[in-house]
Amino acid sequence: MKPGRNIELRSCEKGHLYKKSSNCPTCPVCEAERQPKHGFLSPLAAPARRALENAGILTLQSLSEHTEEEILSLHGMGKSSIPKLKKALDQEGLSFKEH
């Protein structure tokens, strides 16, 4: 955690204790448990994975129906996720939608 930030001890619904300095309500223990072991979402960081899940993008087919710019505009999606998504799409013969 960055110095000078107010760090709070929190508890989630499942009773996990964790420290957070932001107002993000996400429990890191629960997020680690939710991390998929397989599939195109598995190599993504939790914020990027949640961004796709919250947008209803749960399959490569649905991902291919969006432009790269649309995906990058999702809150939590970063540029480092795009190469991972492109690789997964390419392996299935798919790509991001063109403009």
Per-residue pLDDT of the chain (99 residues; tens, 9 = 90+): 455 578 889 988 899 888 888 777 788 888 777 778 889 999 999 899 999 999 999 999 999 999 999 999 999 999 999 999 999 999 999 999 998
DSSP helix/strand/coil, 30: helix
pLDDT of res. 74: 97
- Residue 18, H or E segment: strand 17-20
CB 17 within 8 A of CB 11: yes
pLDDT of res. 1: 47
pTM value > 0.75: no
Q: C-alpha dihedral over 41, 44, 47, 51, to 10 degrees?
A: -40
> What residue ranges define each of the domains in the chain, with the CATH number in brackets?
7-36 (no CATH), 37-99 (1.10.150.20)
